[in-house]
Structure 1
Amino acid sequence: MAEPDLKDQVADSRRSTSTAAATDTLTQDSARTSMQANHQENQHQFDAGQGASHDYSEKQQEQAGQASQPVTELTPAVPISAEPVSLLTGEPPSEAPVVEQPPKYSIHPAWAKRLIIFGASISAFFSPLTAQIYLPALPTVADDFHVTASKATLTVTTYMIFQGITPMFLGGLADSAGRRPAYVICFVIYIGANIGLALCKNFTSLLILRMLQSAGSSTTIALCQATLADITTSAERGQYVGITALPQVLAPSLGPVVGGLLTNYLGWRWIFWLLTIMAGVNLLGLLMFFPETCRKIVGDGSGRKDSHWIYWTGWQLLRDNLARRERRRERKRREAELSKEDPSNHNNGLHLTVSTASAPRQKIKLSLTTPNILQSLTLLFRSKQLAILLSYSAIVFSGFYAIGTAMPNQLSTLYGLNDIEIGLMYLPMAGGSIVTAFVIGRVITWNFHRHARRLGMVIDRSRQTDLSAFPIERARLEVGLPLLALTSAVVISWGWAMQSKTSLAAPCVLLFLLGVGMIGFNNTVSTLVADIYPGKAGAATAANNLTRCLLGAASSAVILPMVEGIGSGWAYTIFGGLYVFFAPLLLVLMSRGMRWRAEEKWKEEAKEEKRKQEQKA
Structure 2
Amino acid sequence: MNDDTDKDVELANQAVEPPEPPYSVYTHREKATMIILVSFTAIISPLSGAIYLPVLPSLARDLDVSTSLINLTVTTYLILQGVAPSFIGNLSDVYGRRPAYMICCIVYLAANIGLAVQNSYAALLTLRCLQSCGSSATIALASAVASDLATRAERGKYLGFAAMGVTLGPALGPVIGGLIDQYLGWRWIFWFLTILSGTLFFILFTFLPETGRNVVGNGSIPAPWWNMSLVAYVKQRRRRRQAEGVDLESAKLPRKRPNPFAALRILGEKGACITLLCSSLMYGGYYMLLTTLSSELSSRYGFSSVIIGLCYLPIGVGSLSYRYTGGFLLDWNFRRHAKAAGVVISHNRQQDMDTLPIEKIRLQVSLPFVYLSSALVIAYGWAMETKSSLAGIEVSLFFCGVFFTASLNGLNTLIIDTHISMPATATAANNLCRCLVGAGAAAISSPLINRVGLGWASVLVSGMWIGLSSFLWLIMAKGPSWRQAEKEKKEAARAKRENVDARNSTSG
**Common topology (TM > 0.5):** yes
Q: Which of the numbers 314, 332, 357 marks the counterpart of 2:230? A: 314
Superposition deviation, residue 436 in structure 1: 2.6
- Bigger relative contact order, structure 1 or 2 (CA pairs below 8 A, ≥6 apart): 2
**C-alpha distance in structure 1 between counterparts of 2:269 and 2:235, whole Å:** 45
Q: Is the 8 A contact 1:235 1:460 kept in 2?
A: no
Residue 186 of structure 1 corresponds to which residue in structure 2?
104
Superposition deviation, residue 415 in structure 1: 1.0
Superposition deviation, residue 115 in structure 1: 1.4
**2:102 aligned partner, one-letter code:** V
Superposition deviation, residue 318 in structure 1: 5.6
CA 222–319 in structure 1, closer or farther in 2 if over 3 Å, else same? closer
Q: Which of the numbers 341, 351, 354 marks the counterpart of 1:465? A: 351
Q: Following superposition of structure 1 onto structure 2, how do residues 296-307 of structure 1 map, counting pairs within 5 Å?
A: 296-304=214-222, 307=223
Secondary structure at the counterpart of residue 468 of structure 1: helix
**C-alpha distance in structure 2 between counterparts of 1:603 and 1:319, whole Å:** 42
Please say if 1:500 is aligned against 2:416: no
CA-atom RMSD, angstroms? Answer: 2.2
**C-alpha distance in structure 2 between counterparts of 1:544 and 1:179, whole Å:** 18
Q: Following superposition of structure 1 onto structure 2, how do residues 341-420 of structure 1 map, counting pairs within 5 Å?
A: 369-380=256-267, 382-420=268-306
Superposition deviation, residue 323 in structure 1: 11
Residue 51 of structure 1 corresponds to which residue in structure 2?
none
How many pairs are equivalent?
A: 488
Superposition deviation, residue 248 in structure 1: 2.3
Q: Following superposition of structure 1 onto structure 2, how do residues 577-616 of structure 1 map, counting pairs within 5 Å?
A: 577-616=463-502
Please say if 1:530 is aligned against 2:409: no
CA 496–270 in structure 1, closer or farther in 2 if over 3 Å, else same? same
Superposition deviation, residue 317 in structure 1: 3.6
Q: Is the 8 A contact 2:157 2:323 kept in 1?
A: no
Residue 422 of structure 1 corresponds to which residue in structure 2?
308
CA 268–598 in structure 1, closer or farther in 2 if over 3 Å, else same? same
Superposition deviation, residue 102 in structure 1: 3.5
Q: Following superposition of structure 1 onto structure 2, how do residues 35-184 of structure 1 map, counting pairs within 5 Å?
A: 91-92=4-5, 94-95=7-8, 98=14, 102-184=20-102
Secondary structure at the counterpart of residue 163 of structure 2: helix
Superposition deviation, residue 90 in structure 1: 9.9
**1:435 aligned partner, one-letter code:** S
Higher helix share: 2
CA 133–385 in structure 1, closer or farther in 2 if over 3 Å, else same? same
**2:465 aligned partner, one-letter code:** Y
**C-alpha distance in structure 1 between counterparts of 2:437 and 2:127, whole Å:** 23
Q: Is the 8 A contact 2:143 2:159 kept in 1?
A: no
Superposition deviation, residue 576 in structure 1: 0.9
Superposition deviation, residue 438 in structure 1: 2.8
Residue 220 of structure 1 corresponds to which residue in structure 2?
138
**C-alpha distance in structure 2 between counterparts of 1:174 and 1:90, whole Å:** 53
Residue 340 of structure 1 corresponds to which residue in structure 2?
none
**TM-score w.r.t. length of structure 2:** 0.92
**1:507 aligned partner, one-letter code:** I
Secondary structure at the counterpart of residue 495 of structure 1: helix
**2:397 aligned partner, one-letter code:** L
**1:494 aligned partner, one-letter code:** Y
**C-alpha distance in structure 2 between counterparts of 1:495 and 1:476, whole Å:** 29
Please say if 1:256 is aligned against 2:174: yes
Runs of 4+ deviating beyond 6 Å: 319-324
Superposition deviation, residue 106 in structure 1: 1.2
Secondary structure at the counterpart of residue 371 of structure 1: coil
Secondary structure at the counterpart of residue 344 of structure 2: coil
**1:411 aligned partner, one-letter code:** L
**2:83 aligned partner, one-letter code:** I
Q: Which of the numbers 318, 337, 361 marks the counterpart of 1:451? A: 337
User: Residues 498-517 of structure 1, C-alpha deviation per residue, up to 9 Å, x if partnerless?
Assistant: 22211112211110111011
User: Residues 466-488 of structure 1, C-alpha deviation per residue, up to 9 Å, x if partnerless?
Assistant: 11121011011111111100111
Q: Is the 8 A contact 1:177 1:369 kept in 2?
A: no
Q: Is the 8 A contact 2:314 2:398 kept in 1?
A: yes
**2:263 aligned partner, one-letter code:** S
Superposition deviation, residue 91 in structure 1: 4.2
Q: Is the 8 A contact 2:113 2:194 kept in 1?
A: yes
Superposition deviation, residue 493 in structure 1: 2.2
Where structure 2 has 5 or more consecutive residues not aligned to the other structure, the ranges are 244-253, 504-508
User: Residues 239-296 of structure 1, C-alpha deviation per residue, up to 9 Å, x if partnerless?
Assistant: 2122112112211111111111111111111111111111111222222111111111
User: Residues 559-616 of structure 1, C-alpha deviation per residue, up to 9 Å, x if partnerless?
Assistant: 1111111111222211111011121100110111111111111111111111111111
CA 573–321 in structure 1, closer or farther in 2 if over 3 Å, else same? closer
User: Residues 361-411 of structure 1, C-alpha deviation per residue, up to 9 Å, x if partnerless?
Assistant: xxxxxx98531000000111x211110111001111111111111111111
Rg (Cα) greater in structure: 1
- Larger deviation: 97-106 or 274-283? 97-106
**C-alpha distance in structure 2 between counterparts of 1:133 and 1:589, whole Å:** 37
Secondary structure at the counterpart of residue 594 of structure 1: helix
Q: Which of the numbers 477, 480, 495 marks the counterpart of 2:366? A: 480
